[in-house]
């Protein structure tokens, strides 16, 4: 029956098409001292599959964002700058799945804008320098481990007369569905191996 072979071939081609297709993720993150919001969108050929807004400031671990309450403004920035290399090193050493995912991902757009001020000209300059260094390390890590097909747009705007901080991150990334499934299966296998080791 030729039509059975035609249906079978069509099904195989459809599966191949889906596995080779890219799924796109949009991410918008806004941080201020009053709120922290993360908006995530998932698209397949311009068809929106999911859009979710997460209010991080309302979560139980929201105090991790409020380092400014326990530290001075500059000390808070120095704390982030100090912890950033440690965090990146932990990713390199312990999270091979994330690294594999980054290598499969493609960045189509990356914008990171920060507004910062301490109320003092000298400390604002130090804070702005710390922000630039931190951004440079993160963008460098992403460009080294992933595929950047865009030019990252990062800015730091300073305010000398009053204390203020706001940062906005917008990015669009994509990954082939087949590659995403492969990374997911490797993550599940690694988790199973770790559970067996604990037993």
Which tens digits make up the pLDDT trace of 11-34? 889 888 888 999 999 999 998 878
Any domain includes 73: yes
Confidence of residue 37 (pLDDT cuts 50, 70, 90): very high
β-pair partners for 169: 29, 112
Tokens representing residue 156 in the block: 């730091």
Any domain includes 4: no
């799945």: which residue's tokens? Answer: 97
Nearest-CA neighbor of 23 among 149, 176, 171? 176
% residues pLDDT > 70 (the chain): 76
Any domain includes 9: no
pLDDT at 83 exceeding the cut of 70: no
Total residue count of the chain as it appears in this document: 199
Any domain includes 13: no
pTM of the predicted protein model: 0.75
Any domain includes 10: no
Phi, psi of 28 (to 5 degrees): -130, 120
Check residue 161 and give its pLDDT. Answer: 85
Check residue 11 and give its pLDDT. Answer: 87
Any domain includes 8: no
Any domain includes 7: no
Nearest-CA neighbor of 155 among 172, 130, 132, 138? 132
Tokens representing residue 1 in the block: 């029956």
Whole-number average pLDDT of the chain: 81
Number of domains composing the chain: 1
Cα–Cα distance measured from residue 57 to residue 118, given in angstroms and rounded to the nearest whole number: 22
Higher pLDDT, 8 or 83: 8
Q: Which residues contact 82 (CB under 8 A, 6 or more apart)?
A: none
The boundaries of the domain holding residue 77 are: 22-198
Any domain includes 5: no
Tokens representing residue 42 in the block: 């998932």
């Amino acid at each position: 029956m030729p039509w059975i072979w035609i249906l079978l071939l069509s099904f195989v081609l459809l599966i191949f098409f889906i596995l080779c297709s890219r799924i796109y993720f949009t991410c918008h993150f806004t941080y201020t001292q009053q709120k922290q919001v993360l908006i995530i969108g998932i698209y397949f050929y311009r068809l929106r599959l999911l859009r979710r807004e997460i209010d991080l400031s309302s979560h139980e671990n929201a105090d991790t964002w409020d380092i400014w309450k326990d530290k001075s403004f500059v000390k808070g920035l120095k704390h982030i700058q100090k912890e950033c290399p440690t965090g990146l090193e932990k990713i390199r050493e312990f999270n091979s799945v994330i690294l594999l995912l980054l290598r499969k991902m493609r960045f189509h757009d990356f914008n990171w804008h920060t507004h910062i001020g301490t109320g003092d000209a000298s400390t604002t300059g130090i804070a702005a320098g710390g922000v630039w260094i931190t951004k440079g390390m993160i963008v460098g890590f992403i460009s080294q481990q992933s595929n950047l097909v865009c030019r990252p747009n990062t800015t730091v705007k300073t305010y000398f007369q009053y204390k203020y901080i706001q940062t906005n991150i917008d990015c669009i990334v994509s990954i082939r569905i087949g590659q995403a499934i492969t990374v997911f299966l490797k993550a599940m296998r690694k988790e199973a191996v770790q559970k067996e080791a604990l037993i």
